[in-house]
Amino acid sequence: MNKPIFYHAGCSVCVSAEHDIVNLIGADNVEVVHLGEQKSRIAAAEQVGVKSVPALVTPNGNVLHLNYGASIEDVKG
Amino acid sequence: MNKPIFYHAGCSVCVSAEHDIVNLIGADNVEVVHLGEQKSRIAAAEQVGVKSVPALVTPNGNVLHLNYGASIEDVKG
């Protein structure tokens, strides 16, 4: 099984949600991607449907947008 | 440690998110509450900050609103 991917951009809402997800799932069971620092991964995130961060993409490809930190457009900017 | 609580109201967005969360965390590790069927628990959900469903309340009391199914006001109605 692929790992879920947690996409964020360093915002306070993102960091808080990251802690929650890591606590719930375990740090070894989720890949954390900072789109502000890894802009090359923005396209793949958008392709699976990530519209804002923080967001968790499940192994079967569903996107869970967690609260709202910033739009993907803001992250690109 | 308390279990996280997943609040929902039976909507399609809720059911999809419920499957995702149960798959990620494990069915034994999360309490699932259907606020449409357990209206007596709406007050407690609101008190911790649940504004819409589906939402996951972590053991430390943070609220993660997952996507957007319905507002808590709609669930009361």
Tell me the two tokens of residue B33.
Answer: 């509450």
Split at pLDDT 50, 70, 90, the class of B50 is very high
Contact A67 B67 (CB under 8 A): no
- pLDDT at residue number B1: 59
* CA geometry: angle B20, A24, A33, nearest 5 deg: 80
Average pLDDT over residues B3-10: 96
Give residue A1's pLDDT.
Answer: 59
Alpha-carbon distance A50 to nearest alpha carbon in chain B (angstroms):
11
Inform me whether the C-beta atom of residue A67 falls under 8 Å from chain B C-beta atoms.
yes
- Which H or E element spans position A14? helix A12-25
Q: Is A24 close to B23, i.e. CB distance below 8 A?
A: no
Q: Which amino acid is at A42?
A: I
Question: Which one-letter amino acid corresponds to residue A72?
Answer: I
pTM of the predicted model over 0.90: yes
Distance CA A72, CA A26 (A): 25
Neighbours of A50 (CB within 10 A): 24
Residue A25, chain B, CB below 8 Å: the answer is yes
How confident is the model at residue A22, as a pLDDT? 96
pLDDT tens-place string over residues A26-71: 999 999 999 999 999 999 999 999 999 999 999 999 999 999 999 9
Give domain limits for chain B. Answer: 5-76
Q: How far is CA A40 from the centre of its chain?
A: 14
Q: What is the pLDDT of residue B49?
A: 97
Q: Could you say which of B20, B59, B62 has the minimum Cβ distance to residue A16?
A: B62
Mean per-residue pLDDT, B26-30? 96
pLDDT score for A13 = 93
DSSP state of A39: G
More confident residue, A77 or A68: A68
Sheet containing A31-34: give its strands across: A31-34, A5-8, A52-57, A63-71, B63-71, B52-57, B5-8, B31-34
Q: Is B5-76 assigned to CATH 3.40.30.10? A: yes
